[in-house]
Amino acid sequence: ELHRIPHPPHRVPLLGDVLGADRHRPLQDSMRFARALGPIYRRRAFGKEFVFVWGARLAADLADESRFAKHVGLGVANLRPVAGDGLFTAYNHEPNWQLAHDVLAPGFSREAMAGYHGMMLAVAGRLTDHWDRRQAAGHTVDVPGDMTRLTLETIARTGFGHDFGSFERDRPHPFVTAMVGTLTYAQRLNSVPGPLAPLLLRAAARRNAADMDHLNRTVDGLVAARRRSGGGEGDLLDRMLATAHPVTGEKLSAENVRKQVITFLVAGHETTSGALSFALYYLARHPEIAARARAEVDRVWGDTPLPGYEQVAKLRYVRRVLDESLRLWPTAPAFAREARQDTVLAGDHPMLRGAWALVLTPMLHREPEVWGEDAERFDPDRFTAAAVRARPPHTFKPFGTGARACIGRQFALHEATLVLGLLLRRYELRLDPGYRLTVAERLTLMPEGLRLRLERRPVPP
């Protein structure tokens, strides 16, 4: 039934629809095709057919957990050598998924989050110290670089009691460089025919092996230190090492712990860093929105030097700014769904068991029937409680869907809202008027080359 799904007009044998594609920006390339071909379309690459979906009705049907489930494909599958059967890359049928999910879920409960709050504040303080110094010296700040420092330190501290010293380094920590290397490599693997990959990407594959080695060694060092010290403060690593499954009594194996630590260090910071960076871009681009958000922070936090856990949840408008940024640029920009059994998608497209489609979230989030003809416009008021209630379900999916949706959602939202609040309270954000948003891709999205000039505001000590 594929013939009923539109595809690009000019096809090349073997290469299919990849010619003319921008292999450094595959997601934005897919967005272009989406605009030209409509809510469901297919692209051919290396003899395989890929189906892309972004229409609201189709995406909502794919969210039906009784008929569809996560598919580990493309970018996610390419990360298997790095993250194995860790939570993010595990196949649905792998027993370690349920085991790790049940053991780690309490690490994301409300109580656990409240416990991380003080550590998140401490890391944010390192960021503002750094930004104060840059500001005083008359320098601009490197937004994606510094947001990555912040989010890496946050997950390392709260999850693993570890300090990478990111703010004390001029260049990214080697862990970050290795991580970016593996993400970029996983993305590149999609742009060459599988069997030819070893040949075409020989040098890149060698670098990738070195990167993976670095990630493994970092993680092994971190785990060994914890085993020596005999336990942290009940953080994620303690859970991974010591907690038995509440029903079966089973524990994670040493090999699986390694995969989980890598998974959480990477998944726990890369996407949040992008989300914060896009939000700061939009705040700097729209001073009237920043002013409204800042007024809320001043009102809700008053002159409390350090906001409490509950005071973060009260920043409703700041949270809407974040949601709206994740609408336009969901930093993990796609997820794949497969049919659990033979079924018909949205009453229209027959799918055999195991057949799958990729949901293009940035396009779903711009679907004109849901978001209006002005969907490209940045407007946080799309996320007032009334506006959210008025929209059909499953139309905003930056954290994926169903059983395999993001386990770190509340963690990311709390951290990002807290940090945006602190930065809005402390600085006016000035963007070079000549800056044009360009989005870099390494499976995740990031505003490229974004720098801001800061002005200090009078704030509590």
The catalytic residues are: 271, 399, 406
Q: Which two tokens stand for residue 157?
A: 């501290």
| 3 state DSSP class of 16 | strand
C-beta closer to ligand HEM: residue 408 or 421: 408
User: What is the closest distance, in whole angstroms, from the C-beta atom of residue 178 to ligand HEM in the complex?
Assistant: 19
Q: CA angle, 422 as apex, 281 and 117 as ends, to 5°? A: 115
Q: Cα(73)–Cα(82) distance, rounded to whole angstroms?
A: 14
Of the candidates 185, 186, 194, 189, the one whose C-alpha atom is nearest the C-alpha of residue 47 is 194
Of the candidates 316, 297, 317, the one whose C-alpha atom is nearest the C-alpha of residue 307 is 297
Total of residues contacting ligand HEM (CB under 6 A): 27
Q: Is 8 in the site for ligand HEM (CB under 6 A)?
A: no
Q: Is 396 in the site for ligand HEM (CB under 6 A)?
A: no
Q: Which two tokens stand for residue 226?
A: 């914890």
Q: How many residues are given for the chain?
A: 461
Q: Cα(167)–Cα(179) distance, rounded to whole angstroms?
A: 18
C-beta closer to ligand HEM: residue 257 or 406: 406
User: What is the closest distance, in whole angstroms, from the C-beta atom of residue 289 to ligand HEM in the complex?
Assistant: 19
**H helices present in 108-142, as ranges:** 110-136
Q: Is 54 in the site for ligand HEM (CB under 6 A)?
A: no
Of the candidates 234, 278, 218, the one whose C-alpha atom is nearest the C-alpha of residue 412 is 278
Only one of the segments 25-33, 132-140, 266-274, 302-310 lies at the binding site for ligand HEM (rule: CB under 6 A); that segment is: 266-274
Of the candidates 251, 290, 340, the one whose C-alpha atom is nearest the C-alpha of residue 62 is 340
Q: Is 256 in the site for ligand HEM (CB under 6 A)?
A: no
DSSP H/E element including 323: helix 316-328
Q: Which two tokens stand for residue 97?
A: 């998924």
Of the candidates 235, 232, 262, the one whose C-alpha atom is nearest the C-alpha of residue 81 is 262
Q: Is 275 in the site for ligand HEM (CB under 6 A)?
A: yes
Only one of the segments 30-38, 53-61, 306-314, 324-332 lies at the binding site for ligand HEM (rule: CB under 6 A); that segment is: 324-332
Only one of the segments 37-45, 173-181, 267-275, 347-355 lies at the binding site for ligand HEM (rule: CB under 6 A); that segment is: 267-275
User: What is the closest distance, in whole angstroms, from the C-beta atom of residue 456 to ligand HEM in the complex?
Assistant: 28
Does the annotation place 406 within a ligand binding site? Answer: yes
C-beta closer to ligand HEM: residue 87 or 179: 87
Q: Which two tokens stand for residue 343?
A: 């079924």
Only one of the segments 3-11, 140-148, 186-194, 402-410 lies at the binding site for ligand HEM (rule: CB under 6 A); that segment is: 402-410
Q: Is 50 in the site for ligand HEM (CB under 6 A)?
A: no
- Fill in the per-residue mask, 409 to 438: x = in contact with ligand HEM (CB under 6 A), - = not in contact: --xx--------------------------
Among all residues, whose Cβ is closest to ligand HEM? 408
Pairing of strands 48-53, 356-360: parallel
C-beta closer to ligand HEM: residue 155 or 290: 155
Of the candidates 339, 445, 351, 335, the one whose C-alpha atom is nearest the C-alpha of residue 394 is 335
User: What is the closest distance, in whole angstroms, from the C-beta atom of residue 264 to ligand HEM in the complex?
Assistant: 5
Q: Is 173 in the site for ligand HEM (CB under 6 A)?
A: no
Q: Is 152 in the site for ligand HEM (CB under 6 A)?
A: no
Q: Is 176 in the site for ligand HEM (CB under 6 A)?
A: no
Of the candidates 231, 227, 289, the one whose C-alpha atom is nearest the C-alpha of residue 420 is 289
Q: Is 237 in the site for ligand HEM (CB under 6 A)?
A: no
Q: Which DSSP category does 286 fall into?
A: -
DSSP H/E element including 51: strand 48-53
C-beta closer to ligand HEM: residue 188 or 404: 404
C-beta closer to ligand HEM: residue 7 or 70: 70
Q: Is 272 in the site for ligand HEM (CB under 6 A)?
A: yes
Figure out which of the listed residues 76, 222, 240, 280 binds ligand HEM, where binding follows CB under 6 A: 76
Q: Which two tokens stand for residue 159?
A: 């999850």
Q: Cα(241)–Cα(233) distance, rounded to whole angstroms?
A: 13
Residues binding ligand HEM (CB under 6 A)? 70, 76, 87-88, 101, 155, 263-264, 267-268, 271-272, 275, 330-332, 335, 398-400, 404-408, 411-412
Annotated binding site, which residues?
406
Annotated binding site for heme, which residues?
406
